Structures are given as structure tokens and as C-alpha cells.
């Protein structure tokens, strides 16, 4: 019985650690996907100038699921971009206030500017975003790993205590 | 298509109207909406409104949203049109735009803070040019023709039908339409939404000069059709057509032939005796009423009465 309880604690510890690590990973992947999307947009604006609907419908599939979901929802709410973004920013879970600000500001302007200004907006967003991506990457590699290890350690400790 | 770009309250109001009779919707910030519905009327919450007070008052956000939606939520992709003060929808409806011009070194970059919109709805009136057709060609082909009428009197509709008539009836073997504002053909991708004939080539979204120079060089047309001659460069484009031995069918805003003769833009051009037929349209019995056809020496060949 004690062994079973200990094993449960161990498993619980590992799971909590992994969950916290996953949050860091999701944030990093989301921001990286946003950065990749900006590069994709920049190329399109420079050469093809497809409409936003076409861009969103033909987007690369290499974006993470969360970002893909966001783009799909955006594509369906292009007429009410502002309302959609306000709702999205209150519901999203992993971005901090500054990141949300950069993110929503960019998407609020998307499609409403002339080409030159739109490309300039992409450049500025990329500049601001590169710092966030770097921080998210560090957090993912350091804190993510740490969370998994701490979870494992806690689980192990409880396992030993119970035994 | 029109309802895709208009705010809900306008769409609701249009449901009470027969869209075949609707020619124009004019929206101005903080002003009553007016429409051309076989005459000038106000647009109210439930169709036509009797008085100014009952009319829908447009606001700035609505105008911005209409332009944004007309640009398929992608202003950058339609900026070249926007810079010229209009956006053409996929069904050929043209939205004329007034607002604040953003320029850099006297070069227009874009328009923002839209103050007025003029939405013009195209109509297909099949065979509307049929009465005029016998006067506008002989055994050698089509004459050089200028279509004259006041604004919103059916010039483009006439031009469109004429293109399909001469193309389908083999009066001209190859017809080229230079559709600067995409109003004649309403091309959606590679497909013209409005019919202009089986043997008609289309250059859309380009300047008249570009379309004519490249079209004549590459498509060898017998006739070139183009809308709204309004500038000196348009006259030069027509002279290029004539110089290449190709016939043209063009249109211009003018009340009648006398009004045209008094226009500085046309004074020198008319002296060249290039135009062989003048077709005068009016709104007298509805848009596209054929009033007169004049020959090169201004003798009247047809009088609508």
C-alpha cells in the first residue's frame, strides 16, 4: 500500500513539473511561430501582396497548434478584428502584458495600412518580438528543465518519506 | 457583394429596395445617406426615407469599415486603387472615396480619414446598344466612337454591351477592353464578372496608356474600348490607338455635343477629326436613353426624340 502511495506521489510530482515546463514551451513555440509568421508576411507583402484572407488560408503548417488556432479564428473574425483581439487577449493564458500589447497592436493594424507602412510595422514588431522570443527560449530551456527536475525531486522525496 | 461591405443597418434598409433600380449610394460623415433610385432619395432605416431627418446618418467608423471590407481587409493590396480615389468590388461596383490625402514629396501615398463614399452599382442592360449599332459600323468595321453623357447615365453599361455585340457578332474580330478601374468587366481573378463578349481581351487595373501600348503590341486588336476620357494623357492614349491603325470606342462625361465642343480638353482633339461617331446618352427616360448619334461632321444621324 505504501509503495503504491509513494509511486502516486512520484508520478504526481513528475506530472506537475512537466505541466509547468509545458507552459514555458508553449509560450516559446507561440512567440517563435509569431516571429515566423511575420517573416512569411514580410515576404508576401514584398512580392505577392495577397489579401489577408488568402495569406491566412495559405499559411505555413509549421506553426504551433496554438498559433494556428489563433490564425484560424482571426481569419473568421476579420470583420470584427478589434473585438476579436480584445476577447482573445483576455482569454489567452501564457503571454504577459507587454507581449500581449505588441501582439494585439500588430494584429489591430494588420490590413489597415498601406504596403510600405505595413512592412515597417512588421519590422518594428519583429524587433520587439525578438527580445521576447529570446527570453521565452531561455525560460523554456532553464526554467522548463528546472520545473521537471523539481517535480521529480519532490515526487521522489515524498516517495521516500512514505516508504 | 454589396451587402458584404455595408454595415448591418444599411443592409437591412436595402432589403426593402429593388436593387435593380439602385444606381448609387452616397455616404458622408455625419450627414444623411442619399441614393440614386431612379431619382435622388434619402436612405432610411427601412428603405426610402421621406425626409432628411429620417435618413441614416453615417459615421466615421462605418465609412472606415466599408473601405476596409471593400479592400478585403487588406488595404495594402488595394493601395494603388485607393491612391486614385476608388476601390472596385468584385461585382464591378465602384466605391469613390474622399478623405485626407497622405503624400510625400507631392506623391500620393494613400488616403485616410475617409469623409465621403460614393458607391456606384453597375447594371447589365442586355442589348442596350442594339439601336445604335447600325450607325456605329460599316463593312470595314467599327468607327472611332465617343460616347457622351452626364455622370450616371449609362456610358459604361453601353460600352460593355457594345463590346459584347461587336465581339459576338464578328463585327470586329479582336476586341480589347482597357479597363482602368475594373468597372467595365469587373474581373474577379481571371474571370470577368460582367460579360463583354466571347472574343474580347481584357487589360484591367492598368492605366490607359499601359493597356493600349501593351495591348496593341501583344493582342493585335481591331478595336480598343476604354472608359472615361478625362485627362490630356487619355487623349494622347487615343491618338496612340489611331496611330496604330486601330479603332477606339471611348466614353466621356459631357452634357451633350455642344458641351463637349466647349471643353478645352477636347477642342484641339476635335479639330483632328479623328472621332467618326458621337453617341449622346441621357437620363431622360432612365439611364442609357439614346438621344443622338452624330457623324464626324456633326450631322445628326439618329435622334431619339
Distance CA A4, CA A10 (A): 10
**Using a CB-CB distance cutoff of 8 angstroms, which residues of chain A are in contact with residue B110?**
114, 117
Query: What local confidence, expressed as pLDDT, does residue B27 receive?
Result: 96
Q: Does B25 map to a domain?
A: yes
Distance CA B263, CA B254 (A): 9
Q: Residue A93 to residues A96, A100, A102, A144: CA-CA distances in angstroms?
A: 8, 10, 16, 17
Q: Interior CA angle at B240 toward B235 and B244, to 5°? A: 150
The overall average pLDDT reported for chain B is 91
Whether B13 has a pLDDT exceeding 90, the answer reads: yes
The grid cell for B272 is 483632328
Q: Does B126 map to a domain?
A: no
- Which range of B38-47, B103-112, B128-137 scores highest in mean pLDDT? It is B128-137
Chain B residue with Cα closest to A74 = B73
Name the residue among A78, A79, A118 with its Cβ closest to that of B76.
Answer: A118
pLDDT band at A60 (very low <50, low <70, confident <90, very high): low
For residue B65, the domain's CATH number is 3.30.450
- Length of chain B counted residue by residue: 305
Q: Does B125 map to a domain?
A: no
Distance CA A91, CA A116 (A): 32
Identify whether residues B164 and B297 lie together within a single domain.
yes
> What are residue B32's phi and psi, to 5 degrees?
-65, 145
Nearest to B300 by CA among B282, B280, B285: B280
Identify whether residues B197 and B100 lie together within a single domain.
no
Neighbours of B273 (CB within 10 A): 10
Structural domain total, chain B: 2
For residue B271, the domain's CATH number is 3.40.50.300
pLDDT band at A114 (very low <50, low <70, confident <90, very high): confident
**Using a CB-CB distance cutoff of 8 angstroms, which residues of chain A are in contact with residue B65?**
79
Identify whether residues B43 and B104 lie together within a single domain.
yes
Residue span of the structural domain in which B182 resides: 133-303
Distance CA A135, CA A129 (A): 10
The grid cell for A35 is 516571429
Question: Among the three residues B120, B152, B177, which one is the final residue of a domain in this structure?
Answer: B120
pLDDT band at A149 (very low <50, low <70, confident <90, very high): confident
* Whether A50 and B73 lie within 8 Å, measured CB to CB: no
* Whether A49 and B75 lie within 8 Å, measured CB to CB: no
Residue tagged 493585335 (cell numbers) = B220
Q: What is the pLDDT of residues B88-125, one digit of tens each?
A: 888 888 899 999 998 888 888 889 899 999 999 988 88
Q: Exposed (0-12), middle (13-18) or buried (19+): which is B188, by Cβ within 10 Å?
A: middle
> What are residue B113's phi and psi, to 5 degrees?
45, 65
Q: What is the pLDDT of residues B201-256, one digit of tens each?
A: 999 888 899 999 999 999 999 999 999 999 999 999 999 999 999 999 999 999 99
Q: What is the pLDDT of residues B145-198, one digit of tens each?
A: 999 999 888 899 999 999 999 999 989 889 999 998 888 988 877 788 889 999
B173 contacts chain A (CB < 8 A): no
Residue A133 makes CB contacts below 8 A (sequence gap 6+) with A28, A31, A32, A35
Query: What local confidence, expressed as pLDDT, does residue A141 receive?
Result: 87
pLDDT band at B29 (very low <50, low <70, confident <90, very high): very high
Whether B134 has a pLDDT exceeding 90, the answer reads: yes
Q: Does B71 map to a domain?
A: yes
Identify whether residues B198 and B273 lie together within a single domain.
yes
pTM as predicted: 0.78
CB contact burial A11-21 (16+ within 10 A = b; e otherwise)? eebbebbbebb
Average pLDDT for A122-149: 89
Amino acid at each position: 500500500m505504501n509503495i503504491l502511495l509513494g509511486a502516486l506521489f512520484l508520478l504526481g510530482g513528475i506530472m506537475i513539473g512537466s505541466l509547468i515546463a509545458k507552459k514555458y514551451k508553449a509560450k516559446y513555440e507561440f512567440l517563435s511561430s509569431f516571429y515566423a509568421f511575420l517573416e512569411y508576411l514580410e515576404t508576401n507583402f514584398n512580392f505577392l501582396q495577397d489579401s489577408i484572407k488568402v495569406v491566412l488560408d495559405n499559411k505555413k503548417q509549421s506553426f504551433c497548434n496554438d498559433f494556428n488556432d489563433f490564425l484560424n479564428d482571426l481569419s473568421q473574425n476579420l470583420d470584427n478584428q478589434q473585438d476579436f483581439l480584445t476577447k482573445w487577449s483576455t482569454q489567452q493564458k501564457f503571454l504577459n502584458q507587454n507581449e500581449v500589447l505588441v501582439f494585439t497592436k500588430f494584429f489591430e493594424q494588420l490590413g489597415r495600412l498601406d504596403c510600405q507602412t505595413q512592412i515597417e510595422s512588421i519590422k518594428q514588431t519583429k524587433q520587439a518580438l525578438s527580445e521576447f522570443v529570446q527570453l521565452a527560449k531561455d525560460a523554456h530551456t532553464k526554467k522548463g528543465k528546472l520545473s521537471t527536475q523539481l517535480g521529480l525531486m519532490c515526487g521522489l522525496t515524498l516517495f521516500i518519506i512514505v516508504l | 457583394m454589396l451587402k458584404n461591405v455595408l454595415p448591418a443597418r444599411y443592409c437591412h434598409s436595402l432589403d426593402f429596395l429593388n436593387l435593380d433600380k439602385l444606381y448609387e449610394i452616397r455616404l458622408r460623415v455625419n450627414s444623411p445617406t442619399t441614393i440614386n433610385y431612379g431619382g435622388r432619395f434619402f436612405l432610411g432605416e427601412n428603405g426610402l426615407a421621406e425626409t432628411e431627418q429620417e435618413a441614416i446618418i453615417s459615421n466615421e467608423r462605418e465609412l472606415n469599415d466599408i473601405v476596409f471590407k471593400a479592400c478585403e481587409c487588406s488595404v495594402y493590396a488595394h493601395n494603388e486603387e485607393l491612391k486614385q480615389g476608388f476601390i472596385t468590388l468584385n461585382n464591378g461596383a465602384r466605391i469613390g472615396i474622399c478623405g485626407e490625402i497622405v503624400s510625400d514629396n507631392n506623391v500620393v501615398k494613400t488616403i485616410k480619414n475617409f469623409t465621403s463614399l460614393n458607391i456606384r452599382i453597375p447594371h447589365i442592360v442586355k442589348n442596350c446598344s442594339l439601336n445604335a449599332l447600325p450607325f456605329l459600323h460599316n463593312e470595314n468595321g467599327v468607327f472611332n466612337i465617343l460616347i457622351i453623357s452626364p455622370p450616371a447615365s449609362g456610358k459604361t453599361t453601353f460600352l460593355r454591351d457594345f463590346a459584347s455585340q461587336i465581339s459576338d457578332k464578328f463585327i470586329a474580330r479582336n476586341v480589347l477592353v482597357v479597363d482602368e478601374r475594373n468597372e467595365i468587366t469587373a474581373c474577379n481573378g481571371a474571370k470577368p464578372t460582367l460579360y463583354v463578349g466571347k472574343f474580347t481581351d481584357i487589360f484591367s487595373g492598368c492605366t490607359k496608356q499601359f493597356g493600349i501600348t501593351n495591348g496593341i503590341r501583344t493582342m493585335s486588336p481591331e478595336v480598343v474600348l476604354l472608359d472615361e476620357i478625362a485627362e490630356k494623357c487619355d487623349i494622347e492614349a487615343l491618338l496612340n490607338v489611331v496611330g496604330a491603325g486601330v479603332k477606339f470606342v471611348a466614353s466621356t462625361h459631357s452634357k451633350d455635343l455642344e458641351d463637349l465642343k466647349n471643353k478645352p480638353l477636347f477642342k484641339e482633339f476635335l479639330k483632328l477629326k479623328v472621332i467618326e461617331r458621337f453617341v449622346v446618352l441621357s437620363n431622360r427616360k432612365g439611364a442609357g436613353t439614346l438621344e443622338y448619334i452624330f457623324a464626324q461632321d456633326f450631322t445628326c444621324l439618329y435622334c431619339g426624340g
